[in-house]
Amino acid sequence: MKLPFFSVVVSLVLTSVLFSPARAQESAVKPNRTVLHAARLLDVKTGRTSSDRAIVIESDKIVSVGPMSEVRRSPGDRTLEFPNATVLPGLIDAHTHLTGDPRDIGYQSLGISVPRATLKGAHNARMTLEAGFTAVRNVGAEGYSDVALRDAINAGDIPGPRMLVSGPALGITGGHCDENLLPFEYHVSAEGVADGVAGVQHKVREVIKYGADLIKICATGGVLSKGDNPQASQYTLEEMKAIVADAHRLGRKVAAHAHGAQGILWASQAGVDSIEHASYIDDAAIAEMKKNGTYLVPTLYLADWFMEHAAENHVPDFLLVKAKEVMPAARKNIAHAFAGGVRVAFGTDAAVYPHGLNAHEFAVMVKLGLTPLQAIQAATVNAADLLGWSDKTGVVAGGKWADLIAVDGDPLQDVTTLERVRFVMKGGEVVKNEYSDKP
């Protein structure tokens, strides 16, 4: 029996990953314990840095953290030495699109099939993990390609970060999350389109049926879409309340894409768990978000990369016009929101710019008013809380996943050191190690 062409391609890709010599060698040696000896260990909750610390790992979990002098060595231990590095928890990106690519914006996106996007996602997942992001929240993907990617990573078929995924984003007819590039005669609507209370309730249940861990909605218009206004509200307050009620009852959180102030306000009032972008956030929205404990997930660095590379990526003029208006406004308003004390979780919108550059977001957050520690907390303890994973990750402590990174220098003094992660461990397995490995 002949296999479909796509199945053959996937089989060859997975075979090359699964049976590479490096992976075979890695699988052959399974130490009883791994001991990370860190010159400096950053406590991301307090900002204190401890010296000469040992992180003891068994299987995929941290079992203890303490002075290296107190560790009782065993013959089967593997010791990883970091004599000049700072160790901290694996980073979390709460807003990414692993199956997306910056070259596929505007009309170019129409030529990308779901299978092609999924295979791109496998590449992007590895790039993201090697950049130090051991967990992500994927907020929007066509054809449930992010569900397939998550499942492949969880099964060990391909390397990548831990993923929570939304599947298709929910949006109104003709809104930011619809397909507005094709004319009427194609009769095309995006798979997440739903209108009215009954319609959005059905769509929430549908995306959960097909594997969504969370719900992504478009509360306002957007920038990289045709025919909509980023400041205009799209879903009504009643529709968003219905979405949140069903999602929360079914154990899923809700992330709301929202640029305009009214949409931000309504989304927070409806009970969403996070506001993405928030370009035109105002005092009323800030106050509502603080009252409700709604997280702000700003996506800021993308403006620098997007505008610099717009010409080579053939970004259409109708998108550039919006970008030139929205992106500068976002920085001013987000800085005001930071000063206002909203809860912040780290997010990038990677796919608008290349995956693997996620950590460039930190410097912009600091430039707009956060301290380096606050920016790091946004990508660790805060993001873990937003994902509902505080009991699993976000800090270096006994009982947590052994998701760790190491960098040269002190990220509290120079947050850009996080752009140059030299060691990555996920679940006790070394993904990347540019330091000496001492068995």
Structure-block tokens of residue 82 = 């970091």
- Which residues, including other chains, have CB under 8 Å from residue 36's CB and lie 6 or more apart? 54, 55, 57, 79, 80, 82, 87, 404, 425
Concatenate the DSSP letters of all residues of 231-247 into one string.
Answer: TSB-S-HHHHHHHHHHH
Neighbours of 86 (CB within 10 A): 22
- To the query of whether residue 216 is one of the catalytic residues in this protein, the response is yes
DSSP 144: G
Neighbours of 182 (CB within 10 A): 13
Cα distance between residue 384 and residue 393, in whole Å: 6
Give Cα separations from 47 to 80, 154, 166, 364 (angstroms): 24, 32, 33, 20
Q: Of the residues 93, 104, 178, 216, which is catalytic?
A: 216
């953290």: which residue's tokens? Answer: 65
Q: Of the residues 146, 228, 273, 349, which is catalytic?
A: 349
Q: Which of 281, 234, 276, 277 is nearest to 261 (CA)?
A: 281
The amino acid that residue 84 corresponds to is N
- To the query of whether residue 349 is one of the catalytic residues in this protein, the response is yes
- Residues facing residue 164 across a β-bridge: 137
Q: List active site positions.
A: 216, 349
